[in-house]
Chains A and B, each alone.
Chain A
């Protein structure tokens, strides 16, 4: 059990957001501390382990300068990316959508914003003419676009949800 997670490969293979034993374990282990740090309670929208390690970079737990800057940069980035996605939807630029999805996936994953990340991954796959999981091809652009539209909306919603939580966490509302 323990050793299964020791290799990056293992780790990765478990590391889908849903059920990695590691992540669950970590989160559990941190629960007690979360209470004290006031980490945003956002259910599964935020992977606390990941977010916490960003919080740990803060020199000052009151100011939270660093993590705040990261998080707020992300807000901007996300908004901008969603705008670009909307534009790309208009132009039916699947490839661009896929790239944007990937792009936002990277940063949302870094912040541990699991839900947003998952949606972005879907966007990436749909944009690449794949199905949701990226394993099968979906040659029909219209189908992909339709899915994209839906998923982008979903991603936006998820983003705004988590944004609210985070803004509250940073006392910025």
Chain B
């Protein structure tokens, strides 16, 4: 085993030597040969020697002369075909070494002594300075230099050995042809499958002509780089870059296709290739200017033009998408419409990022301009965080310009209490779990809400720092072809809606709760679930989402609570005792219908400014003429009359929870009037998404209420509020302090509505207020007592 290693190392070194010679001597065969003889001089430096080496040396002697440098290289290629791919861990080292060897070889007098020198160790030490050698050698194997002119026999022997032990011995794969310059790296992440590609790309420059007659049929030098696929960086503005694979002769139009494939979950759902435009941000802003790529351009040519030396990740092409239309019309534009409103998946706001809440969420930032290497693959070296500066990425992450991307394995449980982990399944797509090994990336500081605040504007400042142009591409820099640490969902991240409603809440509660508050829309969720286990979990989850919630353990209670008003979202278990979730849903829909609750109810913005009218009537429980008018002409039976009507700005969103995997159950739920459904076990990521989506939508619908709320929050303790809370407290002393607080601080909107009911001072107002107070709980005070707390049930 040890011998094997040594042998391979020897061969490697020998090859290095050849390569070095070819470089330095302008590929003159004779010179190269001469140089090959030189290694012995080096050998002499090494005091130790191993038995295996000596053996090999014998063979070497015979065929030493039939080697020509080019031949040797080719043969090496052939022989090492299978190993070439393996990471060139020692490549740089080898590089350096070969250099040293080479220079040693040039010393007059040593050049001719090759064969004999191999055997006798104590040959005079070469003049070359030694420190380099010792320092750089990956393994202080003295034997190596001696091998430099090993012949075919050795090759064969080694090959078989290698086959037997395909261990990832340090390879010199691309060393031969690579220019030696600058710093030397010792590691490479080149994947075995790609190293060859990388190599042939690199080799191409230095060795335009190779003796094809000498090559094996799968000799790598026949590999035409032009036939290869190439990967280019693209990204959505403000999001993280990703690679798409293209062919060398692809047009921009083809690239768009590939992009859509890559962004299958976001862009691919909504857009066709012609919809996309690609922007290129030149590295040198002074010379070129940012521009759109035309579909018929040859992408590779363009890239090469703009990014000489290869495209770096920071130079990703920007994917622009057309501005989409405004969100779909609200569920029920007019009274009497169909209730079931299944939000069409492709138009989800969350998915499409900019559209729902404007472009502010996505900063269109010029890509940072940096350069790394010629081959686009070379830029993958960034994958190795230890080796390659990740600074810009870090800057992005830490400044929140681009929301930090949850890393695959990086789901920490401790550091963040404000919200649920979203890493896993925002897309639930398998592709999101790439490279679990990268769990240590700093990106695990997941996006949090501050991202949306800081996003507009500043990306440019943080990212435009130009990296000094170095001769990076010339470095024997580790090449890697394994997939880059792709952010999990570039598109999604930036798509995180930051609804206007949030800000209202932020201003309200930010001092207390910090940014976590911004994460969810200011909505109120009713959880209907009969199983205490599930209930507890959902409650805990709501708590984390920082949304308010109330609970009901059966369908009847759910309807009653809903009648209290103020709910935006109902998570409805389908199979419930007393009244099933479906029945409850139907009942709610029916009540909404007869009460004319809709987005543009006659009762809406106009009358909300005049507290007391609708609420008063409602509180009185009288279906008088005014009530008729309000409900769109329906005669609303007394029992169906919703009190505190102002709390019903729009039909509530009902999301069915079902443990059933049967499709029919789902259809049933939708038919009953549910807007959406989730299956148990509820995936929290999904749940969060639903809450956000629907909640944001509701918050938008209820813009009026939100505005009031905002207004309210600006001067938090208005006389009116104090007045009211005092009044309420007087009216029902039982109401505890927390509820009062909650009303004061959190629920401006509700406040407004409740004010309408109570403001008139009618008898019914107290009742309305009481229900209101008892049902709406501020999330902070959440406990397991929920199931008992159910005023409406009695």
Contacts and interface: CB of A to CB of B under 8 A. Distances in A.
B661 A12 contact: yes
A70 B430 contact: no
Contacts of A115: none
Nearest to A103: B531
B666 interface: yes
B265 A29 contact: no
B450 interface: no
B530 A103 contact: yes
Given A26-B424, A57-B544, A106-B680, A32 B409 contact: yes
B573 A3 contact: no
A32 B434 CA distance: 12
A161 interface: no
Interface in A34-80: 37, 47, 49-50, 52-61, 66, 69-70, 73-74, 77
Interface stretch (B51-59, B214-222, B412-420, B552-560): B412-420
B659 A25 contact: no
B666 A3 contact: no
Interface string A1-32: 11111111101110110000110011011111
A33 B536 CA distance: 25
Q: Which of B264, B659, B679 has the most CB of A within 10 A?
A: B659
B428 A6 contact: yes
A66 B424 contact: no
A69 B536 CA distance: 10
A172 to B, nearest CB: 17
A121 B656 CA distance: 18
Contacts of A144: none
Q: In which size bucket is the chain B interface?
A: 35 or more
Contacts of B684: 53, 56
Given A6-B427, A66-B540, A74 B433 contact: no
Interface string B717-761: 000000000000000000000000000000000000000000000
A8 B686 contact: yes
Given A32-B437, A107-B531, A3 B681 contact: no
B533 A25 contact: no
A102 interface: yes
B426 to A, nearest CB: 9
Given A8-B676, A26-B424, A106-B531, A33 B411 contact: yes
The A interface is mostly helix, strand or loop, or mixed, namely: helix
Given A2-B264, A15-B679, A102-B575, A33 B439 contact: yes
B680 A110 contact: yes
Interface residues of A, number: 57
Contacts of A59: 414, 417
Contact of B433 (A12, A25, A47, A61): A25
A5 B433 CA distance: 13
A3 B268 contact: yes
A152 interface: no
B1 interface: no
Interface string B584-602: 0000000000000000000
B533 to A, nearest CB: 4
B431 A32 contact: no
A70 B537 contact: yes
Nearest to B424: A26
A171 B712 CA distance: 50
B663 interface: yes
Contact of A56 (B413, B431, B683, B686): B413
A46 B388 CA distance: 40
B661 A16 contact: yes
Contacts of A6: 265, 269, 345, 427-429
Nearest to A57: B540
Contacts of A8: 676-679, 686
B385 interface: no
A171 to B, nearest CB: 18
A110 B529 CA distance: 12
A53 B420 contact: yes
Contacts of A116: none
A77 B408 CA distance: 34
Contacts of A5: 425, 427-430
A56 B679 contact: no
A56 to B, nearest CB: 5
A3 B264 contact: yes
Contacts of B575: 99, 102, 106
A77 B532 contact: yes
B534 interface: yes
A2 B269 CA distance: 11
A33 B533 contact: no
B430 A21 contact: yes
A122 interface: no
A25 B430 contact: yes
A55 B662 CA distance: 28
B223 interface: no
Interface in A99-142: 99, 102-103, 105-107, 109-112, 117, 121, 134
Contact of B431 (A2, A9, A49, A105): A2
A109 B269 CA distance: 31
B690 to A, nearest CB: 8
Contact of B681 (A7, A9, A55, A112): A112
B679 to A, nearest CB: 5
Contact of A29 (B420, B433, B683): B433
Contacts of B265: 2-3, 6
B540 A73 contact: no
A19 B464 CA distance: 46
Given A57-B544, A111-B533, A2 B437 contact: no
Nearest to A20: B428
Given A2-B264, A57-B540, A103-B531, A26 B437 contact: no
Contacts of A66: 540
A79 B424 CA distance: 32
B532 A9 contact: no
A104 to B, nearest CB: 8
A73 B429 contact: no
B680 A70 contact: no
B631 to A, nearest CB: 34
Nearest to B414: A61
Contacts of B345: 6-7
Interface string B203-224: 0000000000000000000000
A6 B685 CA distance: 12
Interface in B643-661: 659, 661
A49 B683 CA distance: 9
Contacts of B681: 47, 50, 109-112
Contacts of B427: 2, 5-6
A29 B678 contact: no
Contact of A32 (B269, B436, B663): B436
A77 B432 CA distance: 36
Nearest to B437: A32
Contacts of B685: 53
Interface string B231-266: 000000000000000000000000000000000110
B659 A106 contact: yes
Contacts of A9: 663, 666
Contacts of A11: 428, 679, 683, 686
A116 to B, nearest CB: 12
Report, nearest first, the 7 A-B pairs whose CB atoms are least far apart. Answer: A29-B433, A2-B429, A107-B533, A25-B430, A5-B428, A106-B531, A50-B681
8 contacts: A3-B429, A12-B661, A26-B428, A32-B409, A53-B424, A57-B541, A103-B531, A106-B659
Interface of B: 264-265, 268-269, 345, 408-409, 411, 413-414, 417, 420-421, 424-425, 427-433, 436-437, 439, 530-534, 536-537, 540-541, 544, 573, 575, 659, 661-663, 666, 676-686
Given A22-B428, A61-B413, 8 more contacts: A4-B429, A5-B425, A11-B683, A33-B411, A57-B544, A58-B413, A73-B533, A73-B536
